[in-house]
Structure 1
Amino acid sequence: MKNNDKMKPAKLCYEHIGGKLGQLLLEALVKKGWLAKTDPSDKNLYITELGESQLTAFGIDLSQIKSQQL
């Protein structure tokens, strides 16, 4: 059994990862070029072609995400 004092939280907010882990994941995915924005001031991000290939290789089924105009 793991020691609870050393466990890091992975918070859920509705149906997404929130908290510090969510922030770090977002920053890493943007830095790797897997996610991007059409305009730096925009709140919306999109999955890049590189992101599609890498996330699919990671085992994520992107067909569950609906396409939409941003």
Structure 2
Amino acid sequence: MDTKNTIKPAKKCYSHIGGKLGELLLETFADKKWIAKNDPSNKHFYITELGEKEFAKLGVDLSKIKSEAI
């Protein structure tokens, strides 16, 4: 089997997921309202209360994310 044509890459960019997978995750989390922005022109998202609950269900440890003032 030629895996070069069947593997879907997940790119790591510094300390985060980049590439198409990162883009799809961002879009999905925003669509599900797990993440949101205070201002549409801002590039920064925050994790919503719903997101906190849903990420916890997936086993994502949000305590590893440093809090920032928004």
TM class by smaller structure: over 0.9
**Aligned-partner Cα distance in 2 for 1:14–1:68:** 19
**Aligned-partner Cα distance in 1 for 2:2–2:35:** 35
Please report the TM-score for the alignment, with normalisation by the length of structure 2: 0.92
Query: How many pairs does the alignment contain?
Result: 69
Stretches of structure 1 that go unaligned for 5 or more consecutive residues are: none
Q: State, as a whole percentage, how many aligned pairs show the same letter.
A: 57
Please report the TM-score for the alignment, with normalisation by the length of structure 1: 0.92
The answer to whether the aligner puts 1:56 opposite 2:56 as a matched pair is: yes
Displacement of 1:3: 4.3
What CA RMSD, in Å, does the superposition of the two structures yield over aligned residues?
1.1
4+ runs deviating over 6 angstroms: none
